[in-house]
Amino acid sequence: MQVAKPVATLKTRFPLQAAAVEAVISQTGRSPDALVYLPMVGRKSFWTVLLDPATADVVAFMPLDSF
């Protein structure tokens, strides 16, 4: 969890995807301040995983290359 970053930074890093990021955050029912993210690599695509910073539980994921 030390390398995870605040979810709020996704909207500033990827302004064209801000609406999609906000939609995923709202589906979690949590505030952006209560989430962190990590990039994840699949075989043919990149994803962003939203996590609970206290428990490291996966809360949501979206197809976004956040590297």
Residue 67 lies in a domain: no
What integer pLDDT is reported at residue 65 of this predicted model?
Answer: 92
Residue 22 lies in a domain: yes
Name the token pair of 63: 């197809």
- The answer to whether 50 and 23 are in contact (CB under 8 A) is no
Residue 15 lies in a domain: yes
Q: What is the pLDDT along the chain (67 residues), one digit of tens a residue?
A: 789 999 999 999 999 999 999 999 999 999 999 999 999 998 899 999 999 999 999 999 999 999 8
What integer pLDDT is reported at residue 51 of this predicted model?
Answer: 97
Distance CA 38, CA 60 (A): 11
In the chain, the number of structural domains is 1
Burial of 21 (0-12, 13-18, 19+ CB in 10 A): buried
Q: Which strand (E) or helix (H) includes residue 21?
A: helix 18-28
